[in-house]
């Protein structure tokens, strides 16, 4: 790369910045030194992203051609990472309209190249509507006469990827699975890290312009092997019984009830599972010889490793932005496989004082609400061989990373945050996090969040069975912490 073409001199436009791929691509581009502009329909959806202050955010809608000109100004390369997922009858036409609008706006602005991530599959076969639409979108972008680098990928393996999450939830929740015949369809899944490598490397590989490049991981497997491989990585035993009676519609309803994916999104995905999605040429290896995609079990291990709190924290975004911090809302949702329960409370004390009150949790001082319930939980944990409540804490007021705090472990301490990881025996992984945010008049918004990554069906039963009890304990906990912080402020 010549000095005149240094990354800092190249403005890169990314669409789909609020999506799974775009949200992970932008930090990679920034790390490589590129200037990045993000095109979004609603800029507020980027709140909480750690990189948002480093990019230029432009509001526009690809279905409205008139809004795209400001986004394209001075752009050298544009990433097109948008496609419709809901199974409406008009989704294909909507995809084509959006792609043509984008191509026309890019051509008018003299954008030099478009990079698009499409769907893998033999175009000569009977592709599903969803996969066919992904490939027709690439053709629509090429109508602009701008060189297009079109990557085609199948299942992208990574926590949060919709295809992989569907497989993951089914495997986690159903010990004996009655499956349609598509479980024997051959696929070539690719890890999210390898996908991002290809997308970034295309910027410095001019030979990739005007090419359709099929990308996949090292292994060609079936969906059955994919689910059983995931089960092995999680230490789960699963039995799969294929039957010929499950139609895509029935399967989509099954997915709707078992996973967080709604049926109108699941159906086009499931219809595509009948198509083999494997790499049929070596163009990716020839153009990008330095990228050696990982095997399936390795990328599954990497995805599961990201559930460790230190890594999950880098991908969490704030699920609630409240303009009324005096409210105490409770949020119960799922995010990248995690179950979340969040509460907020206005505290009439400074953030420093509020966090100091949080730091005094546990040990000989006990827990500020229903301490007897916490101790019973510790006794039960001890009975089943867990660490119990006997460890207490190293210091009555001071905490540092790695400290034991009753049956928790201090995992993260920041100027505005304390996160504890559960070490009691639970069917999954659990954290309790406290975050303080300054608000008007020297007050504080205290945000208390319980995170749980369930393991298997029992993990979900554990969470939902104890939810009423947790609701009582956690609501009392944030109330008492606020009261103690206010008392400390008065003193």
**Nearest by Cα to 473 from 377, 401, 402:** 377
pLDDT score for 252: 74
pLDDT score for 164: 76
| Biggest distance spanned by C-alpha atoms of the chain | 76
pLDDT score for 326: 36
Using CA of residue 177, residue 181, residue 184, residue 185, what is the dihedral sign?
Answer: negative
**Nearest by Cα to 83 from 68, 71, 99, 69:** 99
Supply 123's token pair.
């175009």
Domain ranges of the chain: 3-306, 318-490
Going by C-beta distance under 8 Å and a sequence separation of 6 or more, which residues neighbour residue 468? Answer: none
The segments of the chain whose pLDDT lies below 70 read 1-6, 45, 47-48, 85-89, 159-160, 245-246, 248, 256, 259-264, 306-337, 390
Q: What is the DSSP letter of 403?
A: -
Backbone angles phi, psi at 377, to 5 degrees: -60, -40
- In the chain, % helix, strand, coil (3-state, to 5) comes to 45, 20, 35
Q: Are 183 and 155 in contact (CB under 8 A)?
A: no
Q: What's the CATH class of domain 3-306?
A: alpha beta
Identify the three-state secondary structure at position 247.
Answer: coil
Does pTM top 0.75 for this prediction? no
pLDDT score for 327: 35
Report the CATH fold assignment for 318-490: Alpha-D-Glucose-1,6-Bisphosphate; Chain A, domain 4 (3.30.530)
pLDDT score for 81: 93
pLDDT score for 328: 37
Question: Distances from the Cα of 414 to the Cαs of 393, 400, 401, in angstroms?
Answer: 19, 10, 10
Residue 388 gets the label, from left (phi > 0), alpha (psi -120 to 50) or beta, of: left
pLDDT score for 32: 95
Supply 432's token pair.
């309790």
């Amino acid at each position: 790369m010549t000095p005149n073409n240094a990354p800092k001199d190249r403005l890169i436009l990314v669409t789909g910045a609020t999506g799974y791929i775009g949200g992970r691509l932008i930090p990679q581009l920034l790390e490589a030194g590129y200037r990045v502009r993000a095109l979004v329909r609603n800029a507020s959806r980027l709140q909480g992203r750690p990189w948002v202050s480093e990019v230029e955010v432009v509001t526009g809608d690809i279905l409205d051609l008139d809004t795209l000109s400001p986004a394209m100004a001075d752009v050298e390369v544009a990433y097109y990472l948008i496609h419709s997922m809901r199974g409406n009858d008009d989704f294909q036409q909507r995809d084509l309209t959006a792609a043509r609008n984008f191509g026309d706006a890019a051509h008018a602005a003299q954008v030099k190249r478009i990079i698009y991530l499409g769907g893998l599959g033999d175009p000569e076969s009977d592709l599903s509507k969803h996969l066919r639409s992904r490939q027709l979108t690439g053709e629509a972008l090429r109508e602009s006469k701008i060189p297009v680098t079109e990557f085609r990928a199948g299942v992208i393996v990574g926590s949060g990827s919709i295809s992989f999450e569907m497989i993951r939830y089914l495997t986690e929740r159903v010990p004996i699975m009655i499956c349609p015949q598509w479980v024997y369809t051959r696929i070539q899944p690719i890890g999210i890290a390898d996908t991002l490598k290809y997308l970034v490397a295309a910027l410095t590989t001019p030979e990739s312009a005007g090419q359709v490049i099929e990308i996949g991981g090292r292994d060609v497997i079936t969906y059955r092997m994919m689910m059983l491989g995931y089960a092995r990585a999680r230490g789960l035993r699963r039995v799969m019984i294929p039957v010929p009676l499950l139609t895509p519609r029935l399967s989509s309803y099954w997915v709707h009830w078992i996973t967080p994916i709604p049926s109108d999104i699941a159906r086009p995905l499931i219809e595509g599972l009948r198509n083999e999605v494997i790499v049929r040429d070596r163009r990716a290896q020839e153009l990008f010889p330095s990228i050696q995609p990982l095997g399936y079990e390795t990328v599954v291990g990497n995805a599961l490793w990201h559930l460790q709190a230190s890594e999950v924290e880098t991908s969490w975004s704030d699920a609630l932005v409240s303009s009324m911090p005096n409210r105490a809302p409770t949020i119960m949702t799922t995010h990248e496989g995690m179950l979340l329960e969040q509460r907020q409370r206005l505290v009439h004390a400074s953030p420093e004082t509020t966090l100091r009150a949080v730091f005094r949790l546990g040990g000989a001082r006990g827990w500020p609400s229903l301490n007897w319930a916490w101790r019973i939980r510790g006794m039960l944990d001890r009975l089943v061989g867990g660490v119990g409540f006997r460890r207490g804490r190293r210091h009555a007021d001071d905490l540092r990373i790695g400290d034991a705090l009753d049956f928790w472990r201090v995992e993260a301490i920041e100027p505005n945050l304390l996160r504890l990881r559960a070490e009691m025996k639970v069917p999954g992984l659990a954290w309790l996090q406290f975050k303080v945010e300054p608000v008007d008049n020297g007050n504080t918004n205290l945000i208390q969040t319980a995170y749980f990554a369930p393991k298997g069906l029992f993990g979900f039963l554990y969470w939902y069975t104890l939810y009423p009890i947790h609701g009582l304990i956690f609501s009392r906990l944030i109330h008492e912490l606020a009261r103690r912080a206010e008392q400390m402020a008065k003193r």
